[in-house]
Chain A
């Protein structure tokens, strides 16, 4: 992964506690100055995001995860899938990749970085567990940038 050509998409809502993990990840990345690519904060993926990702060379979706992850965060390869449940409000990374391929004939390599959260109620601020997992996710990300292993 060349960070200059990578689009980092943070999905979340900073009014819903640990649902802000995707955004908190982007904020930390921007603050570090180590990432040269584009960052994009979004509440939910929407159809127009297919156009945005069609212009990137590499995509990393970062999102909070409600289940259990052994290491607190986990990388998953993201492949396009037309077999999705559609709603007017949100698309999954796999479905947005599928649309990108269909509409723009582009299929940039994509990964999902899931970060385990704990608190999901109304309110601002990450839980203690989410903050620990955020640091693990950042370390993992920097390591992959250094070693180009994504």
Chain B
């Protein structure tokens, strides 16, 4: 038996490894996506006062710290006796604006910096070419827009949280600062950062770009790593997409509802996690369907599959077109995640405009108080999918238990299925393992926009690698790139 290892897998956030095991005839016997980093955030946060949680846990990640900050804040709101509806309208709107800015900048980062080299240059392009620098040099207009779109989201974060990474916005029961008129005006006017109207216009353009790309490359995008799965996401009471606070809905690969709009506080009734000895990342699944059938994808593709509509007009129009492609059936085409991600960018841009032009976002009623509870649960839709934070505290307010189920963890089984799909399709019974073949494995993983540092709660250098082993477990091929 041979074994192939990709180590590190590149252009993802975090450190992991792919190993592919081949039999004596070179046929794929098995393929695994191993997550080999470990952090222990859930453990070392114990003993800290509850109000520190939103500050500490955002250190899980440098890309989506806002998501962890807000999920933890929602949980801590409950510990101070407040459910989401109890917060002041201004505080809720500021948190939402922060969240949309975060999703917007994270999606821009993923599409323009991480995914676009695969789409623009192809899986078989020389590895020296498949990077954002060459995207920038050969597609200057696209690059300039991508940079400014990410910047816009980051500036929204900075205006509300004080800085672009690891700022502070939410405090127990609300937010610590309002948005000032001059700060709001910055986003409504053209400056060195374009206005929100320009962001909407550019978001629409980039959705048109991916649709045109799909039109030319539909065979690859439709069929690559296409496999049935469940889909999970938050929805509003009326079924609309919800990113900040909603109910949990899941469907299976045929569209049958497997989790019917349940309150977030009840998540433990429905979810549990499995473990495998070859990965530090757990495998969440729905209890009623079991480990084999209860796993779900999360993230943009899953969210657009589970929701009924989008609450903003331009993005909703795009959603209808997106859903019509498979005649309303769930979309299981992994590469359509990119299309879905860009529709969500448009949605976030429209939502940001609605909030920025809402006078009450300048309000000063920022903080509410309630009666202490021993437990809090906060669930939001982070850029990469459903993010769960759950804390218990003692009578002194010290954290005694912390459970984090992050987006990438929900996608663990789906990413492993994607790796197996590519291994079977492109690595099995090949005389020679080429760089392009190995890159296809990375492309499949990359479509999920995994954040492996979040998922393992890891610290330090975070590359991913791919290895191929023979039937006697000898390494016969590997792909390693420094993450430095």
CB of B178 closer than 8 Å to a CB of A: no
- A88 near B113: Cβ-Cβ < 8 Å: yes
CB of A102 closer than 8 Å to a CB of B: yes
CB of A50 closer than 8 Å to a CB of B: yes
Which chain A residues numbered 50 to 103 have a C-beta less than 8 Å away from chain B?
A: 50-51, 55, 82, 84-90, 95, 99, 102-103
Known contacts being A47-B147, A51-B151, is A86 close to B133, with CB within 8 Å? yes
For A48, the chain B residues whose CB sits under 8 A away are 147, 150-151, 154
For A90, the chain B residues whose CB sits under 8 A away are 484
- B148 near A51: Cβ-Cβ < 8 Å: yes
- Considering only CB atoms, which chain A residue lies closest to B150 in the complex? A48
- A86 near B143: Cβ-Cβ < 8 Å: no
- A86 near B131: Cβ-Cβ < 8 Å: yes
Known contacts being A47-B113, A88-B10, is A99 close to B151, with CB within 8 Å? no
Q: Specify which of A55, A82, A89 is in contact with B192 (CB 8 Å cutoff).
A: A55
For A86, the chain B residues whose CB sits under 8 A away are 131-133
For B136, the chain A residues whose CB sits under 8 A away are 47, 99, 102-103
CA distance A88 to B118 in the complex (A): 14
- A47 near B132: Cβ-Cβ < 8 Å: yes
Known contacts being A55-B192, A89-B483, is A99 close to B133, with CB within 8 Å? yes
- Considering only CB atoms, which chain B residue lies closest to A91 in the complex? B133
For A50, the chain B residues whose CB sits under 8 A away are 147
Tell me the smallest distance from the CB of A64 to a CB of chain B, in Å. 15
- B143 near A103: Cβ-Cβ < 8 Å: yes
Most buried by A among B11, B133, B136, B144: B133
Interface size class of B (residues with CB under 8 A): 20 to 34
- A87 near B482: Cβ-Cβ < 8 Å: yes
CA distance A51 to B114 in the complex (A): 18
CA distance A43 to B350 in the complex (A): 31
CA distance A90 to B483 in the complex (A): 9
Tell me the smallest distance from the CB of B251 to a CB of chain A, in Å. 33
Tell me the smallest distance from the CB of B456 to a CB of chain A, in Å. 17
Tell me the smallest distance from the CB of A111 to a CB of chain B, in Å. 23
CB of B275 closer than 8 Å to a CB of A: no
Q: Specify which of B140, B144, B483 is in contact with A87 (CB 8 Å cutoff).
A: B483
CA distance A55 to B193 in the complex (A): 12
Known contacts being A88-B113, A102-B140, A103-B144, is A95 close to B133, with CB within 8 Å? yes
CA distance A48 to B164 in the complex (A): 13
- A88 near B140: Cβ-Cβ < 8 Å: no
- Considering only CB atoms, which chain B residue lies closest to A98 in the complex? B133
CA distance A95 to B418 in the complex (A): 34
CA distance A99 to B135 in the complex (A): 11
CA distance A22 to B188 in the complex (A): 34
- B133 near A51: Cβ-Cβ < 8 Å: no
- Considering only CB atoms, which chain A residue lies closest to B460 in the complex? A122
CA distance A89 to B151 in the complex (A): 16
- Considering only CB atoms, which chain A residue lies closest to B484 in the complex? A87
CB of B327 closer than 8 Å to a CB of A: no
Tell me the smallest distance from the CB of B155 to a CB of chain A, in Å. 11
- A102 near B113: Cβ-Cβ < 8 Å: no
For B132, the chain A residues whose CB sits under 8 A away are 47, 86, 88
- Considering only CB atoms, which chain B residue lies closest to A95 in the complex? B133
| Interface bits B97-136 vs A (CB < 8 Å: 1, else 0) | 0000000000000000110000000000000000111001
For B144, the chain A residues whose CB sits under 8 A away are 51, 103-104
- A103 near B140: Cβ-Cβ < 8 Å: yes
| Interface bits B46-82 vs A (CB < 8 Å: 1, else 0) | 0000000000000000100000000000000000000
- Considering only CB atoms, which chain A residue lies closest to B128 in the complex? A86
- B483 near A102: Cβ-Cβ < 8 Å: no
Query: What are 9 A-B pairs with beta-carbon distances under 8 A?
Result: A43-B62, A47-B132, A47-B143, A51-B144, A51-B147, A87-B481, A87-B484, A99-B133, A102-B137
* With A47-B132, A87-B481, A88-B132 already in contact, 14 other A-B pairs whose C-beta atoms are closer than 8 Å: A47-B136, A51-B147, A51-B148, A55-B192, A82-B137, A87-B483, A87-B484, A88-B113, A88-B114, A89-B484, A99-B136, A102-B140, A103-B140, A103-B143
Q: Which 5 A-B pairs have the closest CB atoms?
A: A48-B147, A86-B131, A86-B133, A51-B147, A102-B137
